[in-house]
Structures are given as C-alpha cells and as structure tokens.
Amino acid sequence: MLNFEFQAPTKVIFGRNTIQKVKDEIPKDKKILMTYGSGSIRKNGVYKKVMEALKDHTVLEFAGIEPNPKFETLMKAVEIVKNENIDFLLAVGGGSTLDGTKFIAAASKFEGDPWDILTKGAEIKDAIPLGDIITLPATGSEMNPGAVISRLSTDEKFAFMSPLVYPRFSIIDPETTYSLPEKQTVNGIVDTFVHTMEQYATYDANTPLQDEWMLGLIKTLMVEAKKVLKNPNDYEARANVFWCATCGLNYWMSLGCVQDWSTHMIGHELTALYGIDHGESLAIVLPRVWKNRKNEKMRKLAKMAVEVFGANEFLPKNILADITIKKTKKFFESIGRRTKLADYGIDKEDAAKKISQRFKKRGTVLGERQTITPDEVYEILMHC
C-alpha cells in the first residue's frame, strides 16, 4: 500500500425528502447565488422545493450552465458574484452544474486570469463557499475537490482540484433521478464504472481491501443499473446507483492505491473536439487502453474476471484479463452505450492525429506510470 493523506469535509445528506434541509445548511446572512443548467429542475419540481426551503434567504439565480461547462459561461457568473457581493454558491443539478460552480467559486477570488487555474495549475488561495443539491449520479463531484471545465474558443477541456472547492454540504435525494432521460442515466452508470476502474485497473500495489471495495462497487452497479433501466421509479435501485456514483469518486476506495486516469484524459479530448458525451467517450476508450496495457494491468484484470464475471480462477491470467475486457465492453453495450468511434460518426484517423498532436504539444504522458506517450495514444485511438 502506498502512503496517503486524506481529509474530506463535505457533509452528505442522503435520502428521500432531504432537499428541504438546505435551509439549515446555509447561514441566513449569506447572499446566495443559485446556479443551475438548462432548466430541467423547473420541470421535475426540484426548483420549487429549493425556493420554498430558501424563502427566508436572499437568493439570486444563474441559469444556463451547459453540459461540459464552458469557461465563457462561467465567467459571466463570476461577474455577478463580484458585482452582487455573493458569499455562498448553491449548485442545483448534475455534475456539470456543480463542476462549473466550483470553478466560479475559485475564479471569483482569483487574482489574474482564471484560465491559468485550468492550464497552468495556478494555486487557488481562496474560494467562495459552496454547497449542492446533486440530481445526477455520475461525476462524484458532490464529495470530491475536483472539477472539469471546457473552453469553447479553443475546444479544450481541463480539470482542476483544490480542497477549497469541496462542497460544504451535498444533498442527494434519489427521487430527483426518476425523471432523468435514459441516456443520462446510462452515461452516469458508465462514468461511475470507469471512475472506479481508473482507480482499480493498474499494477498491483497490495491493496486487498481497496480492491474488494472497488470490485464490490462494480458488482453492485451492474445489478442495480439493470433495475433502474427496467423500472426508473425503483427507489431502492436509484438510491443504490446514486451511492455507487458518489463513492465511485470520493476516493474512499482507493486510498493507498495507484491510479491511472488515461481513459479520462483521452475521453476529455474526444468530448472537446467532437461534442460526444463524457460517458460515451469513456465507453469507447477504456477497453482499448486495457488491451494496450494488458501486461501491466494483468493481475487486476484477471482478479476482476474471477470476482465480477465469475470466470474460473484456474484459467491463465492472460485469458482472464481478456475476459474482463470483453465482458466490460459487453456490459456497456447491454445498457445501450456503443463502444466504437465509428458508432458516433467520428473518423478514427482524424481523432488519433488531432489528439496525439495536442498531447505532444502539451508534453502530456498518461497512465499509472506515466509511460503512455502521444504515439501510443495515436495507436489506441486507431483501434477504437
């Protein structure tokens, strides 16, 4: 096990009828900017519940944070925060709204060009406090200090992390997910699966408890995913899928582990360049990264074949690893998520060339040992 340090201050409030609790989590003297997306919270009743709960608070609104939230949009909110002396941000919606709000929190207090937070890893010294009511099980952003932001003008997508943007609280009411379009439910399931795998499928650093937890999450997710797709109003299944999504990226499962994240790095570029969903990009890239790095990840992939897919433990590890790759692809397809670039109308050569060149220009190398070069990324995408 690797040495580690961990501290996560977020208060999680989970369950039915919990939205009203927001009123006790934000001091009355705060001036709140409530952020949200395209307005689905107005249709599913969440907006009304929040406004009712905050009727004794001062609340301004900022709507229109898009999926893969854009720097350009968020900077408009920063303007409002500064002009209106906002001192609390409340994100209501999915991971994009929350990620965007984390950026607003940091950028509002940043001296200099906030784009440097994303491209130069500029230090964040202060941030507006924030909380959230999260309505989409996917990113795990509700219990972590990270966010992913895009820039329209350059078709780029970058992540940043700071303990200062941990939500003060996250309210998770699984009933808010009943009305999700199936596509978003599926993307969230894929996202949760791949988050867990970025932390699991690496070389083996002797972390048996963590491995059990991560494989246990995958086993649970695969069962509960089928249930929510069959019956979108199954409360227990919705609750279990949401808790899987949250735990998929709160880092509890992988403390002391090695992590990969190359699938996400390549996937972010596909989303930035071709506009496909994050979950779609991950389903395309993961199986091929595993194929390319099978030797390195062999022990973990083989263990997964036995524990998750019920394969015979006496098969050669090489064969077991192949079973995991094949069955993972099959799982994505079984829930309606296609796994080839061509399925989304993307020319693989175009993607391979553009993305490997971007990584070359930025000096990006990927993987748990930082040994996946831009040339290997080219090769990976040519096989997607």
| Residues near a copy of itself (CB under 8 A) | 1-16, 18, 206-209, 212-213, 215-217, 219-220, 223-224, 236, 239-240, 243-244, 247, 252, 255-256
The residue count of the chain comes to 384
Task: Pick the closer one to a copy of itself by CB: 224 or 376.
Answer: 224
Residue 239 C-beta: closest distance to a copy of itself, Å = 5
Q: Of 97, 14, 86, 92, whose CA–CA distance to 49 is shortest?
A: 92
Q: From CA 109, how far away is CA 127, in angstroms rounded?
A: 6
Output the smallest distance, CB 216 to a copy of itself, in A.
Answer: 3
By beta-carbon proximity to a copy of itself, the closer residue of 313 and 375 is 313
Residue number with CB closer to a copy of itself (13 or 59): 13
210 Rama sector, left if φ>0, alpha if ψ -120 to 50, beta otherwise? alpha
Q: Which is nearer to a copy of itself, 217 or 302 (CB)?
A: 217
Residue with Cβ nearer a copy of itself (243 or 274): 243
Nearest residue (CB) to a copy of itself, 1 versus 319:
1
CA distance 164 to 142: 13
**d(C-alpha 212, C-alpha 205), whole Å:** 13
* Strands of 88-93's sheet in order across: 58-62, 31-35, 88-93, 130-134, 169-172
DSSP summary character for residue 49: H
Whether 348 and 342 have beta carbons less than 8 Å apart is answered as yes
Amino acid identity of residue 141, one-letter, is: S
Nearest approach, Cβ of residue 316 and a copy of itself (Å): 22
Residue 281 C-beta: closest distance to a copy of itself, Å = 25
CB 142 within 8 A of CB 10: yes
Report which of 85, 84, 35, 31 is spatially closest to residue 58, judged by C-alpha positions.
31
**Shortest distance (Å) from residue 225 CB to a copy of itself:** 12
Instruction: Compare residues 10 and 58 and give the one whose CB is closer to a copy of itself.
Output: 10
For a copy of itself, give the closer residue by CB, 13 or 122: 13
3-state SS string over 190-246?
HHHHHHHHHHHCCCCCCCHHHHHHHHHHHHHHHHHHHHHHHCCCCHHHHHHHHHHHH
| Nearer to a copy of itself among residue 71 and residue 331 (C-beta) | 331
Q: 361 and 247 in contact (C-beta within 8 Å)?
A: no
State in angstroms the smallest separation of the CB of 147 from a copy of itself.
21
For residue 356, give both structure tokens: 């490997």
Are the beta carbons of 269 and 355 closer than 8 angstroms?
A: yes
In the bound complex, what is the minimum distance in angstroms from residue 169's beta carbon to a copy of itself? 8
Least separation in angstroms between CB 160 and a copy of itself: 21
Q: Are strands 146-151 and 88-93 parallel, antiparallel or unpaired?
A: unpaired
For 107, the token pair is 């950028």
| 280 and 187 Cβ atoms separated by less than 8 Å | yes
Instruction: Tell the smallest beta-carbon distance from residue 166 to a copy of itself (Å).
Output: 11
